[in-house]
Structure 1
Amino acid sequence: MAEVFIGSEEVAAGRVTRHELRRWYAPVYRGVYARKDIELSLRDRAIAAWLASGRKGVVAGVAASGLHGAPWVDPDVPIELVGVRIRPQHGLVPRADRIASDEITRVGGLPVTSRVRTAFDMGRHLERTDALVRLDALMWNQKFNRADVRALGDRYPRAAGLRRLLELLPLVDGGADSPRESRIRLWLLDAGLPQPETQIPVLATSTRPVAWLDMGWRDYKVAVEYDGDHHRKDRKQYVKDIARLRMLEALGWIVIRVIAEDKPSDVIARVEEALIRRGCSVEVDDLHRFARTFAA
């Protein structure tokens, strides 16, 4: 018997009794079951959602990005489905969006939105910051063509959230090494600072990089590095980070180190000060000033 299955089908086939179904199995979605003692993967839950749709739905959104290999997708993320009309339920979100056959692919036999369609959906349906995080993650795993995503906007000009998607697309960067880095980059852009480059190689005397910077501006030798909790809690890692920082400073870089507890407004101020000190002209308009008021 499969990890997840339609209960009525298994009972009718005689592979499980109704008593066994109640005792040993738990519903994942209406009519779809799995053993109580197993931990379901993202793929298991995606299959369960597809079965709950009568084998007609197409897995979309964040779950689709995870199936395509994008990082930072939890196995319990809600499963979105397009291409079918069903009632929503806990952990299953149907989308009443149109979808064409060339926007569907198969991942291990399961119908899933293509990378381009997945980007199109996430950029429209998610809150702006989360959308950029997820688009960066999808681009990190394997690049998708932004022009193809925009072309879907021409195909569906009345799609909900299209304007937000089109505004976000130029900001998508597959060099973000964590969701936090994506958020930091968006803070800086919203504040009116120039768009940083990601994954910058630092050369010393050879052509082989001695370090890679999370993001920054080569012309001004200003970088922003995010230090996760493991950097500070792991003593050996902390010592390595300090040595790396001193090496970068010796090569002329100003490195702004950011930790999880830092406020956006503080990070923006530190980065802006460093850029101005290095001769960068920062032009801030009314929209950027307005955005800064929300950078708590």
Structure 2
Amino acid sequence: MGEIAGPFVGSWAVAAGLVTAWALRGGRYVRVLPDVYVVRGSEFGARERALAAGCWAKKRGVLVGVSAMAMFGSPYADEWLPAEIALRSSRHAPDGVRVVRDRITDDECCLIDGFWVTTPIRTAYDIARRYPRDAAVPLLDSHCATTGIRPGEVLEFAAGRAGERGIAQLRATLSLVDPGSASPQESRTRLLLIDGGFPPPQTQIVVRDERGNFVARVDMGYREWRIAIEYDGAQHWTDPKQRARDIDRLAALESLDWIVIRLTAAHLRTHPTLILTRLQSAFTSRGIKIGELSA
């Protein structure tokens, strides 16, 4: 028998002769949900979790929310959140699966690899109205970047649904979405700055020298005042080649009078006020008063 790729319905595989019932009980396969199995040791990320939820529902539901995000290929569909699926029945969900009872019309879903999935706009609509802002914005940044949809399109979609739950929250959340954030940590950094009273930073700023030559692309910042905020992942500190490139890049930016504020996950987690203090100092050095900007 050949290898079965991805999650599969055990009873269907047995009926089709792809695997024996005895083999399912052996050590080659792992049951991840009732009657849903994967090959032991195989990858089981957000997309596989979504597929497993679809298999558990015997393909009768529609994958929504973070599961739909994963099916569209978002690299940052949160693997710690439960898989989400819309079902018409009130079937009890196993651990790791969240069942919703939404009405989803035919034009609000599409087929991906044999599973029904909400369209990109419907997916964003559900995430924006269901999740708290701090969870929703990083997810939506990633989803919009992956699918190419714009927050304005989601607002237009929501315009005729004023009576549905979470619409006010949706509008507030979408106003903060920026697909230019290249990671959830960059999204969280942006929210930290906004909550700290600073103007929303621009993302993915291309810096050129006086001759127009490319110098760097910075994560976020304020081009007008030449202030950059850079989130450094672990590779920036553990990879010697990356570390050397960072040193040269920083020197090039500073030679063009850019102030560069660098931060890590530890700063976000334990010293967020330090980030705000450094940014405040940068604005002060430029002669900018934050209160006057928002007045």
TM-score by length of 2: 0.86
Identical aligned residues as a percent: 37
Structure 1 unaligned regions, length at least 5: 289-296
Question: Which of 69, 75, 78 lines up with 1:71 in the alignment?
Answer: 75
Question: Which of 82, 85, 88 lines up with 2:86 in the alignment?
Answer: 82
The answer on whether the counterparts of 1:146 and 1:169 sit within 8 Å (CA) in structure 2 is yes
Distance 1:79 1:220, change over 3 A: same
**1:189 and 2:194 are equivalent in the alignment:** yes
**1:255 and 2:260 are equivalent in the alignment:** yes
Match of 2:228 in 1: 223
The answer on whether the counterparts of 1:83 and 1:99 sit within 8 Å (CA) in structure 2 is no
Q: How much does 1:166 deviate? A: 1.0
The answer on whether the counterparts of 2:229 and 2:262 sit within 8 Å (CA) in structure 1 is yes
Match of 2:289 in 1: 281
SS of 1:206's equivalent in the other structure is coil
The answer on whether the counterparts of 1:83 and 1:98 sit within 8 Å (CA) in structure 2 is no
SS of 1:33's equivalent in the other structure is strand
| CA distance in structure 2 between the partners assigned to 1:44 and 1:194 by the alignment | 39
Match of 2:12 in 1: 9
| CA distance in structure 2 between the partners assigned to 1:163 and 1:251 by the alignment | 43
**1:54 and 2:62 are equivalent in the alignment:** no
- Which amino acid is 1:227 matched to? D
TM-score by length of 1: 0.86
**1:264 and 2:272 are equivalent in the alignment:** yes
Q: How much does 1:41 deviate? A: 5.2
| CA distance in structure 1 between the partners assigned to 2:79 and 2:275 by the alignment | 32
Deviations 1:1-51 (Å, cap 9, x if unpaired)? Answer: 744433333444555444333235433222233344544454444333223
RMSD: 2.5
SS of 2:152's equivalent in the other structure is helix
The answer on whether the counterparts of 1:53 and 1:84 sit within 8 Å (CA) in structure 2 is no
Structure 2 unaligned regions, length at least 5: none
**1:98 and 2:100 are equivalent in the alignment:** no
Match of 2:214 in 1: 209
The answer on whether the counterparts of 1:220 and 1:279 sit within 8 Å (CA) in structure 2 is no
SS of 1:72's equivalent in the other structure is coil
| CA distance in structure 2 between the partners assigned to 1:172 and 1:42 by the alignment | 22
Matches for 1:110-189 after TM superposition, within 5 Å? 110-189=115-194
- Which amino acid is 1:244 matched to? R
Q: How much does 1:230 deviate? A: 1.4
Deviations 1:256-285 (Å, cap 9, x if unpaired)? Answer: 11122221111111112211321333129x
Count of paired positions? 286
- Which amino acid is 2:61 matched to? G
